[in-house]
């Protein structure tokens, strides 16, 4: 088996605020960003959502699957929340091929860090971006 075909060995754990829903994800994120779009701000109650993107097959709900709440179209792009406490755990995006894991729900520290800001054209007017990370008007490549 080639290195590219081997599944990553390090697994990270994530969970919601109340601990009802737990997930495991490979520490094989392909990208990480801070999203400033109004939807992410509303979903998190914060100035932006730090997230890490990974192929969907590398993430699995380990406990509490029956306590998840899907917001959006379950057959298309959608968010996965805990039905009990409301925590946003991850979003299924890019035609269902990727999950955007909300980095604040990870118990274990991932090896990746956000490398840019996106949707800065709709960032909260009361928030100033003070780091030197690149800023994009939309998702890079769109």
pLDDT score for 1: 44
Residue 135 falls inside a structural domain: no
Placement of tokens 């959608």 in the chain: 78
Residue 44 falls inside a structural domain: yes
- Rounded to whole angstroms, how far apart are CA atoms 67 and 86? 10
Residue 35 falls inside a structural domain: yes
Domain hosting 31: range is: 11-122
CA distances from 110 to 90, 114, 131 (A): 15, 11, 20
Residue 26: alpha-carbon gap to chain centroid = 13
Please report, for the domain that includes residue 48, its CATH number.
2.170.150.70
Structure-block tokens of residue 56: 């969907």
Please identify every stretch of the chain with a pLDDT value under 50, giving residue numbers as ranges.
1-3, 6
pLDDT score for 7: 53
Residue 134 falls inside a structural domain: no
pLDDT score for 8: 52
Residue 137 falls inside a structural domain: no
* pTM, two decimal places: 0.87
pLDDT score for 2: 47
Residue 138 falls inside a structural domain: no
Contact 52, 31 (CB under 8 A): yes
- The total number of structural domains in the chain stands at 1
Residue 131 falls inside a structural domain: no
- Rounded to whole angstroms, how far apart are CA atoms 30 and 41? 23
Closest residue by Cα to residue 35 from 100, 109, 108:
100
Residue 40 falls inside a structural domain: yes
pLDDT score for 4: 52
pLDDT score for 129: 96
Contacts of 85 (CB under 8 A, 6+ apart): 16, 17, 18, 20
pLDDT score for 140: 78
């Amino acid at each position: 088996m080639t290195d590219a075909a081997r599944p990553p060995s390090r697994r990270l754990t994530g969970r919601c605020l109340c601990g009802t829903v737990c997930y495991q994800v490979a520490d094989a994120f392909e990208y990480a960003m801070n999203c400033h779009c109004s939807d992410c701000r509303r979903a998190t109650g914060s100035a932006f959502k730090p997230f890490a993107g990974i192929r969907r097959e590398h993430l699995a709900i380990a406990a509490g699957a029956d306590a998840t709440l899907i917001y959006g179209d379950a057959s298309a792009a959608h968010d996965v929340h805990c039905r009990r406490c409301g925590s946003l755990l991850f979003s299924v995006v890019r035609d269902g091929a990727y999950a955007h894991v909300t980095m604040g729900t990870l118990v274990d520290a991932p090896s990746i860090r956000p490398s840019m800001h996106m949707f800065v054209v709709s960032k909260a007017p009361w928030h100033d971006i003070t780091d030197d990370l690149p800023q994009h008007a939309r998702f890079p490549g769109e």
